[in-house]
């Protein structure tokens, strides 16, 4: 029996004598709040996402599907010779132009081994424009949560427009709450009582978000 099963078993036993609520779950909490703030075109939504990501100190790039492998190659090359962690089902064409030493996501990998990896390249589940947030859900193109928390450099690919939504309520509709969700708003950072910002404390020091579409667009950081 796993730790998860033991915990859930204890919860079920603790709730065994609690009367069941006849009200369906979706009716318990009123959901008549705003789904998004204002109306935007697809282009305006993507631009807002890029603006808010940059405001959180993420490095934002725009490219096309054909140019994506060369952009990833450049971003990795700029950091010098390195080890790059890749999820099991990352689209192979994304890394077709890059030639770093690849480390595959394995359950047996220890935190010490992952700490030797310089970069990680993943996809995402959804990106939220209003909050500048990238959400990972552990899908095969993203891998386990820990592989995006230990390496110092994370390249995250967002497919535009299909993976971009305006608001958190719209994102929640796409996400499975049973999956391991990681919500990322910029590189890892924290501040002490004097508001001195320190980056890279509990996640990547550098987050690079690549917005990929079939419409040519300039790299916002070039």
**All domains of the chain in start order, with CATH:** 41-213 (3.40.50.10420)
What is the distance between the alpha carbons of residues 212 and 181, in angstroms, rounded to a whole number? 22
What is the distance between the alpha carbons of residues 171 and 84, in angstroms, rounded to a whole number? 29
Strands (E), the chain: 59-64, 83-86, 101-104, 119-122, 126-128, 133-136, 153-159, 164-165, 182-184, 189-191, 197-199, 206-213
Q: Locate 158 and state its tokens.
A: 């967002």
What is the distance between the alpha carbons of residues 147 and 136, in angstroms, rounded to a whole number? 11
Q: pLDDT tens across 192-202, in order?
A: 676 676 665 66
Q: Name the DSSP class of 21.
A: P
Q: Can you give the pLDDT of all 222 residues of the chain as single tens digits? A: 889 999 999 999 998 887 877 777 666 777 777 777 888 899 999 999 999 999 999 999 999 999 999 999 999 999 886 899 999 899 999 999 888 888 888 888 887 888 889 999 999 999 999 999 999 999 999 999 888 988 899 999 999 999 999 999 999 999 998 999 999 998 776 766 766 766 656 678 899 999 999 876 555 554
Give residue 221's pLDDT: 57
Give residue 105's pLDDT: 82
Neighbours of 23 (CB within 10 A): 8
Nearest partner of 67 among 212, 167, 189, judged by Cα: 212
Give residue 216's pLDDT: 60
Contact 133, 163 (CB under 8 A): no
What is the distance between the alpha carbons of residues 107 and 217, in angstroms, rounded to a whole number? 38
Query: Can you give 168-197 as a three-state secondary structure string?
Result: HHHHHHHCCCCCCCEEECCCCEEECCCCCE
Q: Locate 69 and state its tokens.
A: 């492998």
Distances (CA, A) of 173 to 35, 123, 142, 176, 217: 11, 19, 19, 8, 29
Q: Locate 41 and state its tokens.
A: 């075109």
Nearest partner of 89 among 142, 49, 46, 132, judged by Cα: 142
Q: Locate 212 and state its tokens.
A: 């990929």
């Amino acid at each position: 029996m796993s730790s998860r099963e033991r915990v859930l078993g204890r919860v079920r036993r603790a709730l065994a004598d609690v009367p069941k609520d006849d009200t369906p779950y979706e009716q318990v909490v009123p959901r008549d709040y705003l789904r998004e703030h204002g109306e935007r075109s697809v282009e305006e939504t993507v631009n807002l996402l890029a603006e808010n990501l940059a405001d959180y100190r993420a490095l934002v790039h725009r490219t096309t599907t054909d140019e994506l492998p060369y952009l990833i190659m450049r971003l990795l090359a700029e950091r010098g010779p390195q080890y790059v962690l890749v999820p099991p089902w990352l689209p192979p064409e994304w890394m077709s132009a890059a030639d770093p030493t690849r480390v595959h996501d394995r359950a047996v990998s220890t935190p010490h081994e992952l700490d030797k990896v310089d970069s990680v390249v993943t996809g995402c589940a959804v990106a939220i424009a209003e909050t500048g947030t990238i959400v990972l859900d552990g899908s095969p193109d993203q891998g386990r949560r820990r592989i995006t928390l230990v390496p110092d450099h994370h390249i995250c690919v967002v497919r535009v427009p299909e993976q971009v939504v305006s608001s958190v309520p719209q994102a929640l509709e796409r996400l499975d709450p049973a999956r391991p969700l990681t919500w990322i708003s910029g590189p890892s950072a924290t501040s002490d009582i004097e508001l001195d910002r320190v980056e890279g404390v509990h996640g990547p020091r550098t987050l690079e978000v690549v917005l990929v579409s079939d419409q040519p667009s300039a790299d916002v950081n070039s």
